[in-house]
Amino acid sequence: MPEFGHSSTTDDVLAGHDLTGRRIIVTGASTGLGEETARALAAHGASVTLAVRDLGRGNAAAERIRATVAGADLEVGEVELGSLASVRAFADDFLGRHSAIDVLINNAGVMACPQGATADGFETQFGTNHLGHFLLSVLLAPALVAGAPSRVVSLSSYGHSFADVDLDDWNFERTPYHPFVAYGRAKTANALFAVEFQRRYGGQGVQAFSVHPGGIHTELGRHMSPDELAAMEARSAKMGGHGWKTIPQGAATSVWAATAPELDGHGGAYLEDCHIAEVTEDRKRLDGVRPHALDASKAEALWALSERLVGLA
């Protein structure tokens, strides 16, 4: 079994894999990690749905992929994760054409943005990163069960260590807003979602994982100034981090989570650098997963809250 790590790329991870006949959805696939994830999977035979906010940019990404992957089987669908109506419309359209899904990769996200709200009035980062993907995953769950053994991969982040979810103040109505506290809450929610999705659907053949892709220069950091990005890199180097990754390295753990047979039986795990992360409470470490992001009781409570907020309860 090959050993993968921090410097492994998508092509390293997928070497020898034949994904022909597998249907995979990648959200946020018009650029960055999402586009590279879609390219790598298509290059190994998967039929990939690029779920994007902007159809023009999504179609441009599909053309870039086709230019490098002859015969790539791609389709582009529109979904704005900050709008529950848009999520429902995408799911309805997709399920009208496909009865089964092999992998759903919840890749899209926003980071450290100014305080704002989604179309439905939720704090932007919690509403987009968590609630939009939560609704999408639950709506597509019957197709994931139909495609079992199947997987759901949700991008979390080391940012989960910045803050736990707040089940009583998800909209920052009683606490001061801070961009990275909001990001931490949302990324913790992504990890907790994997824990509870696994509990609910693991027995039906669907495994869920959360992923820390590493530090990568992508559009995700568009709300950060050059000085803030430089300070983040300097802090990483000071704390012994491995340095920032290229985009193919950053997408590697996502495709590993989607395809690695050695992950069977480990559903609910938090992954980084193409391995299952160690649970640690050491806040000085830039790796590992904090216990609050794997708390089963918190995961169940977050699911109940999320159902109510998106209108599924």
Residue positions annotated with a catalytic role:
156, 183, 187
- The DSSP code for 6 is T
| 3-state SS record for 109-150 | CCCCCCCCECCCCCEHHHHHHHHHHHHHHHHHHHHHHHCCCE
Given a contact cutoff of 8 angstroms between Cβ atoms, the answer to whether 208 and 152 are in contact is: yes
Task: Kindly state the tokens that stand for 69.
Answer: 């992957």
Task: Kindly state the tokens that stand for 111.
Answer: 């980071």
In a 3-state reduction of DSSP, which class is residue 21?
Answer: coil
- The DSSP code for 166 is -
Given a contact cutoff of 8 angstroms between Cβ atoms, the answer to whether 182 and 127 are in contact is: no
- Match 């890749």 to its residue by tokens: 107
- Match 């991870």 to its residue by tokens: 13
Distance in angstroms (rounded) separating the CA atoms of residues 267 and 153 = 10
Q: 15: exposed, middle or buried (C-beta count within 10 Å: 0-12, 13-18, 19+)?
A: exposed
Residue type, 5: G
> What b/e sequence results for 255-272 when a residue is b if at least 16 CB atoms lie within 10 Å of its CB, and e otherwise?
bbbbbbeebeeebbbbbb
Given a contact cutoff of 8 angstroms between Cβ atoms, the answer to whether 257 and 265 are in contact is: no
